[in-house]
Structures are given as C-alpha cells and as structure tokens.
Chains A and B, each alone.
Chain A
Amino acid sequence: MDKTIRIRKGVDIDLKGKAKNQFMADHNPELFALKPIDFFGLVPKLSWKEGEKVKQGEPVFFDKYRPDIVFVAPVAGLISKVVRGDKRKMLEIIIEKSDEIGKIKHNISKDDLKNAEAIKKLFLNAGIWPYIKQRPYGIIANPETKPRDIFISMFDSAPLAPDFEFILNADKEEINLALKTIKLLTDGDVYLSFKKGSRLVDLIENKENYKINYFHGPHPAGLHGVQINKIKPINKGEIVWTVNATDLPIIGSFLKTGIYNPERTVALAGSEVKEPAYFKTTAGADLTQLLKSKLNTDDNLRVISGNVLTGSNISHSRFLGFFDNLVTVIPEGNKHELFGWALPGFNKLSLTTTFMSKLFPRKKFAPDTNLHGGKRAYVVTGQYEAVCPIDVYPQLLIKAILAEDIDKMEQMGIYEIIEEDFALCEFACTSKMDVQEIVRTGLNLMIKEMS
C-alpha cells in the first residue's frame, strides 16, 4: 500500500553549519512582527492604527479582496509601528509584547469540528486559515472552494533544513488533532509524504485515514510541488491545498486549547553561526538579541528567514517569518574577485565540474551571496532539467512566461509549480536569471487572466 517514490533529478547542496539536534535557550523578545509580504496575492488592510492595543489572537489585518481572511496577532501587545515600503506597501506591523492585554480564547465545541463549513469558519475567525495554501498559484486557499486533495510534506530537503523528526517529536497529540480536522476539509484524500526511513510516521494515528507515501532522493524531493506531481498531478481546473507539517502543531494546539499561539521550534543554521542548534520562539519574533550572541561576527552578513534558496532577506529587520522554522546566516558576497572566472576555485560551490572543488566530493561549502557573474541571455540548456524532477520543461516554461504567452504557460504546466519548485534552477543558472521572480510574475498573470 505504502509507496516509495524515488526522485532522481535534483541535488542536495551541502552547506556548513547545519543545526545540531539540541536546544539553546528559548527566545522571548519584546518585539514581534506580522509581515503581509509573507503571503502572496494579498492586499493587506489594517484593522488598527499605530498605538492601539491588540490581544493575542485578535485580527491585525485582513485581505482587502477577501475580508474574511484575517491575520491575527501572535502575541498580545501594542501596535508600535507600521513599516511601509515603496508606494506605501505594507511591509511589517510591529507589536510590542505585553502579556497583560490578554488572549482571545475560542470556545470550540464538538459541533465546530464536525463538518467542513464549521471548521472553515472557525479557522477563518481564529487566523488559522492562512496556514492553508492552495495550488495552483501558491496563495492562501480560497475558503469557498473544496480542494481535490490536501498534501502535507513531512520533511524538508532544502539546504540546512530543520530535522522534522526532531522538531515535531513532542507534538504527537496536536499533529493528530490537526490532521483529523484538516481531513474533513476535503472530499478527497490527505496525502502525507515522508522521507524514506523517517520515524515520524509512527506519530500518526489511524494511518488508514491518510494516503502515505515515502520519498527518497535529493532536494527538491521535500517540496509539495514535486510530491504532488509524482503522486497525483494537478490538472487544469483542479485545486489542491497544502499545509506545512511544521504548522500542524500550531493548528493542533489551537484546536486543543482554543488559543492561537504560534510557537515554533526554529533551527539557527549557516556558516556564520557559532553553534548551530534549535531554539523555541514565536512566529514573528525579533531575532536581533539572539543573533548578537550567536554569530561569529555581525559584520556584512545575510540573515535569511527560511532556507538559502527560497527564504527572505531579514538582514536589516530581523523578524522571523510567518511560516519559517529556519534562520540561515551566511556571509554577504559584496566583494570583487580578481580574475575570478579563471581561478581554480577550491572553495567554489558549483553543480558543474568547472572548479577544482569538485575534486573533494564530501566537502561542505560556505558560499556567500555573490551573484558570481553578470546577467546574460539564455545560452546553456539542460541545467534546469537536471535539477527539476517535476514533469515540465522548466526553461521553456520560463521562456513562455517571459513572452507572456498565457496559452503556452497553461499548456506547459504552470498550474503545477510555484516559485520554490524552480529555486534550484535559479541556483544553477549560468545566465543568472531571476527564475523565482519570473515564475511569480507568471502566476500573477494567470491569476489576473483567470479571474
């Protein structure tokens, strides 16, 4: 019954500074931030003004076009600042924690968890809904639809990714409660995909309720896009939902207590971290203090909420992202390199065999953020295909997006991918294309065209 699926295309990028399976002290800062930019396809509208007080679990902002989707405060406190970017785009809503203000507690009765409509209503009210994403497009799920299936990846294969076995181990009850509830949201199946040999599967109760698959092979095996494509691909007109395994404890603990409390176990990793390990904190936490004591230097670093391929740059405003269980710190690469293209390159990280570093296959790398060259038109072919296990032609799909050819994009499978699925292509690209941005542009174009 259980299937093992082998992923052949892709690559595990071996970086220095993987978090050891041990905890450092919990991190409880003063400041927290909710970041509308953590969600795609959203026009945020604030429910409060600067200086007003919110309870933990109280809505802070909502989507202008889908006002029933609200985003609630991770902690109780004072809305101290709303940071805006170009064109007054809302970037961060900063909350100064103060526990006295209190929490919102939802009274969850058995009836609330009986059918999909009731659960949706509960999730929407409590701010749990944004944890459910939909494909196509990789945006927050539309509560008015019913998904064909729901997919949950039970491992992360990205560089320096946290070990789910380690961080989910203690939350058996919450995870099962969350899964049981999520199962009711679809008439189809809930697919759980584990890494081959993972002990996490023992955590799951009533396994017969779910479809369980095992994956083995290199990154991007852990991505939803790859798993969906290998198990049951998305066709035109179909909608599937995805939930991150690391969000299940948050959903479960809400269902158990009625209180929204987005506590996370986060891995602090990367070549610039003194002793990479895990810590407990709350989503949106200000990491400034923590990083001060944990980094080798604080000079010229890139702090990433998430992994090095898809994470967001939080070097200047160091708040943990909404979905992230990983903070990666690597050196910035803003330096010139004399004759860099001609040097043997013993420390150069590359998928091609054009640097001497290939002589040391077990070497761990500490790459910086340098682009390593100028942008060019496409010349090399086959690089994307080698790292993309999804059954599409990545480079030609990217070209279709660049040409804004809607029909071609649809035919070539844009519904099956989101930007993270092509992140490795972007890493590998000789022409230094911004592949993920192009994919997002294409998805936005499709959303506009289809609505």
Chain B
Amino acid sequence: MKFLRKRVDKIKPHFEEGGRFYFLHSVFDGFETFLFVPDHVTKKGAHIRDAIDMKRTMIIVVLALMPALLFGIYNTGLQHFIATGQPQEFWPMISYGIIKVIPLIAVTYIVGLGIEFAFAQVRKHEISEGFLVTGILIPLIVPADIPLWMLAIATAFAVIIGKEVFGGSGMNILNPALTARAFLFFAYPSWMSGDKIWVSGMMSGEGIIDGYSGATLLAQSATGASNFINGFGEKVSHLEMFIGTIPGSVGETSIIAILLGALILLVAGLGSWRIMFSTLAGGIVMGLLLNVFAVNSAMEIAWFEQLMLGGFAFGMVFMATDPVTGAQTNKGKYIYGFLIGFLAILIRVLNPAYPEGMMLAILLMNVFAPLIDHLVVQQNIKKRLKRSVSSVKS
C-alpha cells in the first residue's frame, strides 16, 4: 500500500496546475480517489463526519443490482437456448449471456464515463460517481440484442441532455437511465418493441425454431391475451414469472433477483422504503380498480400479475427510488411513489401503444416531483404563517 501511495504521490505533481498533464487532472483525481480515500480533514463545522460518501453509496447500489445482472446474464443465455432448441446446459448458457451482456455494459461505461470525465475536466470539478449506477442500469433495461452503436448514442444522449446540461449528477430532472431507454424507444422502436427483439438471436434469426414466438408477457397483455404463453404456446406459470425465466429486458424479468436488490437497498438505508412501498401500493390499487371495472381482457389481468409484468418491479426498486429525480420530502415520496405505480399500470393497460408504462410513469413523475415537493413545503409554510398570524392576534 505504501508503495502504491508513493507512486501516486510521485506522479501527482504532473497533474496539478502547471503540470504537463494538467488537462487530465479530473481523470487523475478520479483514479486517485478510487484507489485512496483522500486525506482531507474537516476544516469547518462538524469535526467528525459520517464515514459514508458518494463512492460507497453508489457501490452499494451497484451491489444491489448484481443479482438482477447475474440473473440477466443467465436468462439471456437461457432464452436463446430455448428458442434455438439447444440443450440447456448451464455453462454454455452463461457464456452466451456473458458474450451478449458484457459488451452492453462496456459500451455504456466507456461512452458514459468518457463524457463524464470530459465534463468534469471542463467544469473543473471532481468526477461524480452517479454514472457507476447509471452505467449498469442502462444495460439492464434494454433487450440483449440492441445494437451497440444505438446503445452508445442513447447513453451519450442520456448523459449530455439528461444530466450534464442541467449541471451534472445531482442536478438532473430526469432519471438518466430511463432517458436513455426512452430515447431508444422513440428513436429505434423496431429494436425496442415487437416480438422478436426480446429473445437474443431472434432478430438475426440464427437457428430459431420455426414458429417460435418471442413475445413478452407484457406484449401479450397489451393485445389482450389473458393467458400468458411462452414461445411454444404453453402456459407460463406464476412461478416462472416470479423467478424470471421469461423473455424481456436483460435485468428486469426476475422478481426474486430484484427483491434481493431491494433488500440490500433497504437494509443499507439507501433506497427509500417510502417510495418502494407507495409505488407498490399505487400499482395494486390501480390493478384492483381495473379488475373491478374490467371491460376487456387486458383489464382482467390480476393485480399481482401486473406487478410481475415488464419493468414494474425493476422500476419500483431501482428507478423510482433515484433520490435526485424523485420527490425529496418524506410526504412527497409517498405521493410520488403512489402516482408512479398508479400511472404505470394505467398507461400499460389503457394505452397499449406504450406497453412499458413504468418507464413513462417514472419519467412523468420525475417532472412532477418538484411540484409535489413544492406543495408539501407549502403546507409547512402555511402552518408557520398561520402560527405567526395567531400569535400577533393574541
């Protein structure tokens, strides 16, 4: 460790003001703080500080995403092997999944971090860790077969338009990962919807069994199929939906893996239980309402099935809880979450053109989150005003 520290201290002057590589100082700083927690001590205010910092926070969130990612790798292989009729052996499926998924992560990270580094350099601030999470989120909410160049463009769009134009991490209005997904959805709809894209290999048609359908359950729900079937026309059980061995975006299919992530977030105190809970509540309420007033088969889909479909669970745990784009007040978080769940199911069922209602619901509520906070804070302000008026009278 001392050796490493000495090396870092030795090359450090080159990156400081006046040094040869000053133009790379943010990058150097990024790597140095990655290796070492800085030796900065408190100068003002509280002399001791909580040991948590942004790096630790983001690393824990990345950790919480690992179950979904690992399952996603497995499921990408599994769906491909099912569709091509190959024997479902574990390691070949995993290696297929790795070959498909790792490039997605690599492209997102390289493009996203590259832009982050550049902006940090120009703006002369430290590199923010926010993209560590965004860079995993994006690959998990796209189909495994998405062309890498599309992913690169979407990531660049999300980082620049979604985040940096507002001032970088912490200042953005929309969730960057969902911004990337929305960009892909509207720019390249043929690669983000339909019944070919969700099973890896189907777009190119390599060795797919004749008549195999890769439609997701969400797509089936939109067209009104109330009995969910797999590619061979067999019924999909609730257990399969819960475990996640169904077609879909890379990381969003497995409810178990997502719940594991939720557990990590909740135990660590990093994900807001208020938002998760109220999103769930909103989804259930809307699901039940639709069930009660069902006039078509899409509305008849049971509320608990709705919760397991598409990106609802993933969005609830990892997207809605984004503290930057969500509501900031505790009361606001309840309202914000509830409306996300409520609208997600509403959009999904009543507007089948956009079956992925969760994405649109969260983005919509991202925009409204400041308004919700404003209303909550106004309550507090009114209480204070009232108190002061009554004290003047007495």
A340 at interface (Cβ–Cβ under 8 A)?
A: yes
Stretch at the interface among A42-50, A166-174, A392-400: A392-400
Contacts A235-B391, A376-B54: A370 and B45 contacting too (C-beta < 8 A)?
A: no
B41 touches A334 (CB 8 A): yes
A235–B387 contact, CB under 8 A?
yes
The docked-state distance in angstroms from the alpha carbon of A328 to that of B46 is: 12
Q: Give the distance in Å from the alpha carbon of A64 to the alpha carbon of B267 in the complex.
A: 54
B373 and A396: CB pair below 8 A? Answer: yes
Partner of B168, one of A310, A377, A419, A434: A377
Q: Please, what's the 1-or-0 string for A364-381, where 1 marks a CB less than 8 Å from any CB in chain B?
A: 000111111111111111
Chain B contacts with A in 145-197, Cβ cutoff 8 A: 167-171
Question: Which of B41, B47, B384 sits near A308, CB closer than 8 Å?
Answer: B47
Q: What band does the interface of chain B fall in when counting residues whose beta carbon is under 8 Å from A? A: 35 or more
Q: Is B35 an interface residue (CB 8 A)?
A: yes
Whether, in the assembled complex, A126 has its beta carbon less than 8 Å from a beta carbon of chain B, the answer is: no
Residue in B167, B272, B385 whose beta carbon sits within 8 Å of that of A377 in the complex: B167
Is the CB of A427 closer than 8 A to any CB of chain B?
yes
Check B98 for interface membership: any CB of A closer than 8 A.
Answer: no
List A298-343 residues whose CB lies under 8 Å from chain B.
Answer: 302, 304, 308-311, 313, 328, 330, 332-342
Interface centre among B48, B54, B269, B381 (most CB of A within 10 A): B48
Known: A354-B270, A382-B330. A336 touches B38 (CB 8 A): yes
A20 at the interface (CB under 8 A from B): no
A392 to B281, CA, bound (A): 28
Within 8 A of A (CB), among B24-44: 33, 35-42, 44
CA–CA, A148 and B42, complex, Å:
37
B51 is an interface residue with CB less than 8 A from chain A: yes
A336-B37 contact given A373-B55, A376-B170, CB 8 Å threshold = yes
Does more than half of chain A's interface fall in helix, strand or loop, or is it mixed?
A: loop
Residues of A near B118 (CB, < 8 A) are: none
Within the complex, which residue of B33, B130, B329 is in contact with A396, where a contact is CB–CB below 8 Å?
Answer: B329
Interface centre among A304, A330, A336, A436 (most CB of B within 10 A): A336
Cα–Cα, bound, A345→B126 (Å): 24
**A369, B170: Cβ atoms closer than 8 Å:** no
Q: A233, B323: Cβ atoms under 8 Å?
A: no
Q: What's the tally of chain A residues with a CB closer than 8 Å to chain B?
A: 73
Enumerate A220-256 residues with CB–CB distance to B below 8 Å.
233, 235-238
B52 and A354 form a contact (CB under 8 A): yes
A377 to chain B, nearest CB (A): 3
The answer, yes or no, to whether A428 is at the interface (CB within 8 Å) is: yes
Query: In the complex, A330→B391 CA distance in Å?
Result: 46
Let me know if A338 and B35 touch, CB within 8 A. Answer: yes
Are B384 and A310 in touch, CB under 8 angstroms? Answer: no
Chain B residues within 8 Å of A, Cβ to Cβ: 1, 4-5, 33, 35-42, 44-57, 59-60, 126, 128-130, 167-171, 267-270, 272, 323-324, 326, 328-330, 333, 373, 377, 380-381, 383-385, 387-388, 391-392
